[in-house]
């Protein structure tokens, strides 16, 4: 009985507490405070992150590095140059890549990362070309990013590199030189070559990649005449050449052969029929 009476008293006191005005006033104040706190937090976050305040990224490509500060003055973004790359085919000190790309919508003050062409080419060690074939020497020069030109010279070594030069003087392997430098490759004529030269090679039907190897080995130059639509010259087919090959037709080292390239295999048959019709029975 005593325990039940105590429970009734506690319930009565609890109900009386919930009926007091001060409780509801305090609850209302607490709820209003929470609402205000959340509103302030969301307002601050929206302001801090600039939600909805975006701007398109301008085009930095091809701009000179010396003009970037003036270019950025009235823009809503900033920039940072993070790398410089050497490209002999492009002007020095210009933007060649940007991240994010032009037109991307970004928030005000976003930093745009730029890649520019180097003002000075990097230094590389001169490779050893001497004793290689001309074809091998050309492959080495291309892999090192060097320009090259070949010249024939009197030497018993037939078709091999007898000397490598830069600015008219022999350059030792391992010498540090700017990437993109032009190297002159001297090729031996060989002691036994006839004064009448060599037979004109027949290159019909070959890809230019295969024909180029033959011409390099023979010490011959070439000029390409490509059909419309030929994008990969190395894989294109030779359907005509000038001079033509044949009995009594000869060339000396250093002579030039005109090569006509196509992707149309039908031209090979047509040209072969034309050539056969010219040959005596």
CATH 3.30.10.20 residue window(s) in the chain: 54-117, 123-188, 198-278
Q: What is the pLDDT of residue 281?
A: 42
Whole-prediction pTM:
0.46
Torsion of CA 79, 83, 88, 91, to 10 degrees: 20
Q: What angle do CA 258, 262, 267 make, to 5 degrees?
A: 100
pLDDT at 67: 92
What is the pLDDT tens value at each position of the chain, 281 positions in all?
A: 556 666 566 666 656 656 667 766 777 787 888 888 877 776 666 555 555 577 889 999 989 999 999 998 888 888 999 888 888 778 889 999 999 998 888 888 889 999 999 888 889 999 999 988 888 899 999 999 999 998 888 876 777 889 999 999 999 999 999 998 999 999 887 654 445 667 888 999 999 999 998 888 777 889 999 998 899 999 999 999 999 988 888 887 778 899 999 998 888 876 665 555 555 44
CATH of region 54-117: 3.30.10.20
Q: Minimal CA–CA distance to 194: which of 222, 220, 158?
A: 158
Integer Cα distance of 276 and 238 in angstroms: 16
3.40.50.1820, 1.20.1250.10, 3.40.50.620, 3.30.10.20: which CATH number matches 198-278?
A: 3.30.10.20
Q: Tell me, which fold does domain 123-188 have in CATH? A: Trypsin Inhibitor V; Chain A (3.30.10)
Structure confidence at residue 32 (pLDDT): 80
252 secondary structure, DSSP code: -
Task: Work out whether strand 147-153 and strand 182-188 pair parallel, antiparallel, or are unpaired.
Answer: parallel
Q: Quickly count: other Cβ atoms within 10 Å of residue 134's Cβ.
A: 22
């Amino acid at each position: 009985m005593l325990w039940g009476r105590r429970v009734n008293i506690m319930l009565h006191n609890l109900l009386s507490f919930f009926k007091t005005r001060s409780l509801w006033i305090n609850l209302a104040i607490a709820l209003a405070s929470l609402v205000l706190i959340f509103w302030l937090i969301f307002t601050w976050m929206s302001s801090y992150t600039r939600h909805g305040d975006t701007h398109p990224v301008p085009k930095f490509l091809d701009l000179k590095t010396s003009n970037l500060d003036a270019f950025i003055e009235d823009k809503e973004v900033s920039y940072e140059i993070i790398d410089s790359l050497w490209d002999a085919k492009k002007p020095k000190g210009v933007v060649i890549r940007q991240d994010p790309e032009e037109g991307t919508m970004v928030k005000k003050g976003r930093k745009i990362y730029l890649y520019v062409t180097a003002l000075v080419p990097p230094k590389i060690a001169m490779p050893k070309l001497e004793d290689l074939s001309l074809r091998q020497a050309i492959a080495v020069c291309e892999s090192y990013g060097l320009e090259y030109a070949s010249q024939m010279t009197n030497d018993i070594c037939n078709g091999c590199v007898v000397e490598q030069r830069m600015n008219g003087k022999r350059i030792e392997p391992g010498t540090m030189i700017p990437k993109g430098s032009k190297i002159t490759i001297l090729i031996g004529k060989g002691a036994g070559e006839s004064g009448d030269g060599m037979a004109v090679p027949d290159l019909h039907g070959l890809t230019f990649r295969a024909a180029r190897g033959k011409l390099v080995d023979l010490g011959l130059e070439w000029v390409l005449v490509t059909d419309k639509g030929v994008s990969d010259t190395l894989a294109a087919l030779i359907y005509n050449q000038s001079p033509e090959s044949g009995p009594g037709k000869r060339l000396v080292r250093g002579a030039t052969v005109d090569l006509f390239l196509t992707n149309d295999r039908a031209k090979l048959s047509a040209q072969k029929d034309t050539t056969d019709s010219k040959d005596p029975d």
